Structures are given as C-alpha cells and as structure tokens.
A and B are shown apart, each in its own frame.
Chain A
Amino acid sequence: MRNITKRFPGVVALDRVNLEVYPGTIHALLGENGAGKSTLVKILYGIYTPDEGVIILNGRRVIISSPIDAINYGIVMVSQSPQLIDRLTIAENIILGLKKYGYYAPVKLVEREISKLAEEFGVKIDPSTDTWKLSYTQKQMVEFIRAMLLGVKILLIDEALTYLPIEERRRFYKFIKGFAERGGTVLLITHKIPEAMEAADKITVLRRGRVVKTVEKTEVTIDDIRRMMFGERSKEITYERLPPGAPDGELLLVENLWVEGDFGGYAVQGVSLKVRRGEVFAIAGVAGNGQKELLQAIMGLRPIRKGKVFFEGEDITHRSTYYLRLKGVGYIPDLPAKYGVSIENTIIENIAVIPVYARGFIDWDKIRSLALKLIREYDIKTPSPEAPVKYLSGGNIMKVLVSRELNTATKLLVAYNPTRALDEATAIRVRRIIKNKVINDNIGALIASEDLDEIFQIADTIAVMNSGRIVGVFPAEKAKREEIEHLMVM
C-alpha cells in the first residue's frame, strides 16, 4: 500500500500510509485506539475506498472496491463479530461464499474439507451443525476455516482474537503460524502487545494516522514498541498492583444464587459472594463459566431461580434494572457493542439513555457538558459529542460506554471485562480510575474478567469461577497466580 490517505469528516484517519507485507509473514499492525488500524484493513478489504494512494499486489496496481473484489484477490478479513447466518449449518455458511463450485456445491466435499481444517485447530466439529448452536470461539473458528476455503492469501485479523479465552487464542495463533509457513500472509491487529511480539515476524506501528515505523520483531523490545505506540504515555504502562482499597461494610450480598443459561440448565449454581464498600471484588474465570449470567442476574436482566441478592441491606432479588440504576449502579456488559451502546445513535443520546441523567424531559445542555467532560477525561477521539457512535473506532466506542458507566456508578460498579478493546495505556488508565473511585468515593466494584493481568492489578479480593460455581476466594495480596490459573481450568 502506497501513500494511502483517508479522511472522514473532522479527522484524517490515515495520512500517506505506506505498508508492505510479504508472503509467509505474520505482520502485526499496532497502535493506540483510533490510530487508523481498522480503517487501513477496511481499505484492503474494499469496505472503504482510499481518498489517495494505491494498492499494489504482486507488482500490479489493483483497485478494490468491495469485499467481493478483495476476496477475488485472495484478501479476507475476520473481524470481532462473526458474520455467520444462524439458521444455516456450518457447511452451508461456508458454501455461501464459495464461488469455485458455482451454484451446485458438493456439500460432502466441503464438509470433508471443513473437518480437515478443524483438525488443524485441534478440535472436532460436525460441519452439519446449525450455526446458532456454536459458541463464540467456534464461530470465530468457522470464520477462519471459511477464509481458508475461500483461498485466502492475505488474512486480515482485526481484533478477531480479542474476545477469545487465552488457551483458545493460543490455538488460533498456532493455526495462523501454520498458514504463514505455507506461504500465507497475515495482517494482525491486536492490543495485546506481548502476544503480537510473540506471534509476529514484522511490526508496523501507527499513530494518529501515520506510520511511526515498520520493524523486524528481532530488532526491538516490547518497551520500544510501546514508546512508538504511545510516546510519553507509554510511561504510564505498568502491571504493578494498584494501591489497595479499604474494604469496609457490606454493599452487595449474593446468597446461594441459581440462574439459568441461554440453552437451559443452570449457568450459575449456588453462588454466594460479598462485595464491600471500598473493595474491588474480581471474578477470574475462563469465558462461559457463568460469569456473564451471574452479573446479568444481579443487574435484574436475567431471572433468578433460587437464592437472594441484597444491596445496602435491602432485598433486591426481583427488583428491576431501573431500580438499581437509580440507586447508582453502573454496568458494563459482555459484548459491549451489542449490549452497551447503540451505534446508530449519537454519543449524547447514548448517555441520556441512562435514567439517572434524564427523566421525563431531557436537558441536552447538561448531557452535552457531561459528554464533553467524559470526552476530555477519557480522551475519546470524536469530532463532537453529537457524532453517531458508529463513526468512532472500536476502542473509542468502548470508552464511551466505560466512561458513562463509571460516572453512573456512584455506589456500585458491575463490570464484565471493563477494558477489552482498549489500548494498553487506556486500559491501565481505566483501571486506575476505577480504583480511585473505589478508594476515594468508597464505592464497591464487582468485576469479572478473563484477563489475569487485569485481575491482579486491580483486585482487592479475587474469586475464581468455574462451571457456575465459585471455587475459591482469596485476598489479592495472598493470591498466587498458578493457583488461580489451576482453579480456572480444573
């Protein structure tokens, strides 16, 4: 890619960007939130057309004006959210994109190829399974398999691994390494810098729409990369434990809670826990062990079958979400783009929708000044508070949600992976803000996270959740990482 420039109203997303990628390499594309990473790969995939600049493929200039063009050139993107159609089977979903068989796709043949590729991942999968039955991880795997069957030569991965549990991520990394060894090219976007360092051969760092530098992995250290990404801000990056809270007095009490999952059966099986004021109570666990359902049930978003929940001593077991919101409870849900924001609406509308900020009539001036304050404090990159959220970068969308909910949480914060999709510096900043609120405003925080670095940095108390149960609770200063890891997967 030569001299690529892309402007959006109010921003230059890419400014004369040059990028060269070679067969047989994994090329990481790194940069802070809003740096222009997604825009660059979307241009390669034909979703955006560049204002200036050219794309050269194998020595020839090409024009990619739609994903269909891109796929014809062997360029395929996998993004955070799987694009599969639920009511079709895996094989049908994959056949949908395959041109080489024309209208008569030999289903059996395709099914065999799918199984073969799944084995490369080290998993068994029945290609005639309906897609809606698949877990998020499996869906993402199907996306990768589809890319392979489409004859991908350049695979674009835009944070597609962000939401996967760590062991699964390792599987995917192994898979793409195999692909690169066979001569494929991978362009990898992630905010997990250590993982990028581990997987990639080459690294390009973007900052404010410009290429800072392209380097061989062997030439640099993690700290060099962080400095290129964040400049001065890289000094803020630390994984040391933040100052401890001063837990005092019970705020949230959960007693023997039983909650059903989406597909029947109990996802939460008799969980009891206590969150005190001035405490970050963190739940460690592999995704899908009931954390999501537990938090939803506490928030009044999922029916409670058995057990009780108390907030400030009051029984809130069957209280509505509205009631909790008005009491000052902030909530950061799983799958933030789906449950936490409405991307077609503007930033201010996404704030005003929380009942504490407006009831009956909306004072837009008040909302607007709150929005401006949050934009400043969290460094949200947006042309204005009236911009539709869909025009923001992935990380900045998350910042809108996180900043709103932290501001809402005047008594309790309930959060699931509060820093995912955020760049390292911002993630650490958000953890600091949470911890400061817990210490200074004496609120409580119940945070479920799959990221142990996060848990160890922020928690005062660490609980481990496995198969719907709490299998261990430790004061953070005494918790041992190996023991927690063991409890998570046992």
Chain B
Amino acid sequence: MEFPVSMVIVRRVKPLPYWIVPLLALLIGVAVAIIILYGMSGGKTTPADVLYAIRDGFLQPHLLAMSFAFLSIVGVGLVVSFKGALFNIGGEGQIYFGAMLAVWAAMFAPFSASLINGGPLGVAALKTLMIVLSALAGAFWAFIASLPRAYLQLDEVPVTLMMNYIAYYIVDILVRGPWHERKYGYLRTETLPEKLWLKTISGTTFSIEVYILLIIVFVAAYFFLKYTTPGLYLRVLGNNPNLLRSSGINIKLIIMIALTISGLIIGLVGAGYIAGRTHNLSYPVEEKTANYGYTGILVAWLSMLELIAVPIAAYIIAALYNAGINMQIAGAGGAATVFVFIGSILVTYTALITISEYKIKIIVKRRGG
C-alpha cells in the first residue's frame, strides 16, 4: 500500500547569511527562557529578574573562569570533528573515560603513592600523567566509535551517543565496586590528594594550569587544521568527500584521525574536571555530570565551527549557565533553571538552522483526477 502523504525536505536555494542563525538563536533562546521561567515560577520570576541575572552572569568572569576553559576545550575538540561533518556527540563518554584514567593514575595505580610522596617533581609528574592518560583515554574512546563509521558507514551520532552510556556504566561499576571509599560508606571514590588539585587564585576559579592547557589546545588545533594535510583533508571531507577519493586520500583513515583527535582534546577535560572541580567520582555519574560534553555541542554550533569564535561562544554559554545558577541560588525555579537557558537556545538554534537551510514540503496524493 502506498502512503497517501509524503513529506520531503529540500535544501533552500538561498540560505541565510550564516552568522544570523547563532545570533538569532541566542536572542530568541533567551526570550523563550524568560517566558518559561516566568511560567515555571508562577509569575514570580519577572523578565527583569532574568535579565539582571544574565547581566550579572556575564559580569562574573572570576566565577566563570574554569567552566569557560572547559567549555572552550570541548568546543575546540568538537569543532575538529564537526568540520569533517563527523558529529561526535560522545564528549561525555570521552570526558568520563578520561576522568576514570585520571583517577586511576592519581589513586589506584602502582605508581600513585610513590609519586605523590616523591616531592614536587613527583607530584608534577603525576599531574602530567593524569592529563596525558585522560587525553589518551578520550582518544581511545572516540577511536572505537570511529571504527564503525569508517568501515561500516554507520552513522557516528548514535554510536558516539551510546558510547557515553557505556562510559558512564563502566565508571559506575568501578565507583560502586573496587574504587568505592570505605571510611563513610558513600558510593564514591576517596577524595583526590590535595596536592593534585588544580590551584586556583583565591576567590576565583581561575587556574593557570588549565589556561596553559587551553592555550596549547587552541594553538595545536589551529596548527593541525591549517598546516597539516590530515587537517586539510578533514575540512574537505566535510564539504566534498568525492574530491578526496579522486585525489587518492584514504577517507577511512581521515575519519579515524579526526574523531580520535577530537576525543584526545575532549578527554583532557576529564582530568581537569576531577582535579579542578569534583575531586572525586561519585555514583551515579550520569546524574552528577556537568554535561560539558553536551553543552560543548552548543558551543561548537554557536561558534559556526570557526576556531576563533569558540572562546566567545564558550563565554556566552558559561555566563548563561552561571546566570542559571545565580537564579537557582536566589530561589527562582529550582534545579531545572540552569538548563532552561541552554535548552531553549539549543532548541531554537536547531529550529533556526533547519528553517534557514531547508524547506519542508508536503504532498498529499489524491489518486484519480
């Protein structure tokens, strides 16, 4: 039997100028958030409250410093893969797989104790090791996800998404089982030795170590995309893979390299998050996560996949996130407040990008006539 209605989506002949979409998404998204918050609070949270909160959110760089840096790193990692039209939405898994290895190195590895007690040099070595292992773990996790994409042409979106849950699951098992602290009986690991914490300037979340990392990531990603052939092939891959084939480039290899590098960068945040924020892993991780892996997607989209714009987008998102927290603390709207901004911008962005690039047409077929 034939379906009497068919819907087709066609690309627009004239797409909108590309910077309009992120800008509109932000404005409309905030407007939607204001309406939702107004409704949720039964009229108690006025638009003015929200706007003040947003202003304050932007004006607290000392509080944003760390989440801004993490979001920027994730954003850069995602841009690397998105440029090749490889939609790595497995950031969460890559972060947690990284965090897992960082925690292992810090507390459970054969070398952990001796390095911590090995003076400043030992501590520095252990910190470095945490970061390197975290990155490698993220890379490994993304590399696994790249295989079905490269060899079976399986869409990477569901694959990377599923890998997030597997990573959560593995970490949960460790935290409930062998890594679980004994002193108080909570379902969490012991706290990271204080020597391994990221040092922040007091009263702020600014850590020089994180910023050094961010700068290295930024420069390396820029160099990779601009000056290496895999970087170039990746940028061509997102536009026309046929040209790569005619040129003799191994597309499978490029897909694997791109996702792996993306995971390598994002994995760094795993160690950073443990050493800078939570200082432990606690069960169930999927409820405790800061969701940088997902929020980073919004950062990448808002940056229009331009590396230079990533910090700007990351700052905006970190500020809105911060505004949400401020309002939550002030008692407006409860825990969901934080996600209202992020959610409404993401939805608006998706809607706008669809409207700007595609038109939906519906054909109702009437037999006979």
Contact surface of A with B, Cβ cutoff 8 Å? 47, 66-67, 85, 88, 92, 95-96, 103-109, 299-301, 320-326, 331, 333, 338-345, 349-350, 352-355, 358-362, 364
Contacts and interface: CB of A to CB of B under 8 A. Distances in A.
Given A85-B8, A322-B249, A358-B229, A108 B240 contact: no
Contact of A339 (B6, B228, B246, B368): B246
A301 B249 CA distance: 11
B246 A321 contact: yes
Contact of A340 (B6, B246, B248, B368): B246
A333 B247 CA distance: 11
A345 B241 CA distance: 12
Given A321-B248, A322-B249, A352-B229, A105 B242 contact: no
A109 B369 CA distance: 6
Interface stretch (B27-35, B193-201, B261-269, B359-367): B359-367
B247 A354 contact: yes
Contact of B240 (A321, A333, A343): A343
A340 B233 CA distance: 14
Contact of B248 (A107, A320, A333, A339): A320
Given A301-B245, A354-B248, A364-B227, 14 more contacts: A66-B13, A105-B364, A105-B366, A107-B369, A321-B247, A340-B246, A341-B243, A343-B240, A353-B244, A353-B247, A358-B229, A361-B227, A361-B229, A362-B229
A311 to B, nearest CB: 14
A56 B261 CA distance: 56
A352 B243 CA distance: 12
A345 B235 contact: yes
Interface string B1-33: 000001010100110000000000000000000
Contact of A92 (B6, B228, B247, B250): B6
B232 interface: yes
Interface string B220-255: 000000111100110110011011111111100000
B365 A107 contact: yes
Contacts of B361: 96
A358 B228 CA distance: 9
Contacts of A359: 229
A66 B14 contact: yes
A348 B242 CA distance: 17
A345 B363 CA distance: 36
Contacts of A66: 13-14
26 contacts: A47-B13, A66-B13, A66-B14, A85-B10, A88-B8, A92-B363, A104-B364, A104-B366, A105-B364, A105-B366, A108-B367, A299-B246, A300-B248, A322-B250, A324-B248, A325-B248, A338-B240, A342-B239, A343-B239, A353-B249, A355-B249, A358-B232, A361-B227, A361-B229, A362-B226, A362-B228
A105 B4 CA distance: 11
Nearest to B368: A108
Given A322-B249, A325-B247, A362 B240 contact: no
A106 B368 contact: yes
Contacts of B13: 47, 66-67
Contacts, number: 113
Nearest to A91: B365
A466 B244 CA distance: 30
A119 to B, nearest CB: 20
B239 A353 contact: no
Given A322-B248, A345-B235, A361-B227, A353 B243 contact: yes
B63 to A, nearest CB: 39
Nearest to B241: A342
The 5 closest A-B pairs by CB, nearest first: A106-B369, A322-B248, A321-B248, A342-B240, A344-B239
A88 to B, nearest CB: 7
Classify the secondary structure of A's interface with B. Answer: mixed
Nearest to A110: B369
A349 B250 CA distance: 17
B271 to A, nearest CB: 29
B23 to A, nearest CB: 22
A406 B10 CA distance: 37
Nearest to B223: A361
Contacts of B369: 105-109
B232 A341 contact: no
Contacts of A355: 229, 247-249
* B10, B14, B368: residue with the most chain A Cβ atoms closer than 10 Å: B14
Most buried by A among B8, B240, B248: B248
- Specify which of A47, A103, A342, A361 lies most central, judged by the most chain B CB atoms within 10 Å of its CB: A342
Contact of B246 (A47, A331, A364): A331
Contacts of A108: 367-369
B46 to A, nearest CB: 41
A300 B369 CA distance: 51
A325 B368 CA distance: 56
Contacts of B362: 103
A326 B364 CA distance: 54
Nearest to B11: A83
B14, B226, B243, B361 pick with most chain A CB within 10 angstroms: B243
Interface in B289-346: none
Nearest to A67: B13
A45 to B, nearest CB: 9
B246 A301 contact: yes
A362 B246 contact: no
Contacts of B245: 301, 321, 339
Nearest to B231: A362
Contacts of B242: 338-339
Contact of A352 (B232, B250, B366): B232
A261 to B, nearest CB: 17
A323 B248 CA distance: 8
A167 B366 CA distance: 37
A328 to B, nearest CB: 12
A301 B244 CA distance: 11
A111 to B, nearest CB: 10
A67 B233 CA distance: 34
B236 A349 contact: yes
Contacts of A338: 240, 242
Listed residue (A300, A320, A345, A350) with the most chain B CB atoms within 10 angstroms of its CB: A345
Nearest to A355: B248
Contacts of A322: 248-250
B314 to A, nearest CB: 25
A352 B235 CA distance: 12
Contacts of A104: 364, 366
